[in-house]
Amino acid sequence: MASSLKSGTKNLRVQQTAKTRQKPPTLRRFKPNFRWEETELEPYKVASGTVGDFRGASRQVLIGKRGEQVAFHVRYFELEPQGFTSLERHRHAHVVIAVRGRGFVRVGDQEYDVSPMDLVYIGPDEPHQLKASADESFGFFCIVNARRDKPRPIISRV
């Protein structure tokens, strides 16, 4: 009796898990103002003393947060005019594709002007930062490994 009760509880748990786990949406339509259906607009980071300085940045996780079976995440970041990400490094690489407005990308000691459809490769452990121009928002896709290390901020000495 105890064995069948235990088995029944396990089966109920499996059924509940299957019901609550939903298949990720196959299509999320693009909406005005660089938003996507069924995709939450999130802060770039939660400010704390360990994340480095940043301003005017938001993100949307397009692939990688809803159970997609992939080894990478696709995120869309947007920087307000004069906004910027933290200066940081990671052990993983990034691929950045500019899609909206103009901005600047610092990789190591070099800074590059970027505009829509420019592609930037940021190798492992390379210090990097993205900045919007003074007069327009700058939006870009960022593709990274699904399993990755946390950013390590770099204190800029001006």
Split at pLDDT 50, 70, 90, the class of 2 is low
Split at pLDDT 50, 70, 90, the class of 3 is low
Closest CA to 105 of 145, 51, 142, 74: 142
35 vs 41: CA distance, rounded Å:
8
Structural domains of the chain sorted by starting position, each given as residue range(s) with its CATH number in brackets:
22-153 (2.60.120.10)
Average pLDDT over residues 103-131: 97
Q: Flag the least confident range among 78-82, 103-107, 152-156.
A: 152-156
Active-site positions read 142
| DSSP 8-class letter at 142 | E
49-70 pLDDT per residue, tens: 555 789 999 999 999 988 899 9
Average pLDDT over residues 130-156: 93
Average pLDDT, the chain: 86
Highest mean pLDDT among 15-19, 47-51, 125-129: 125-129
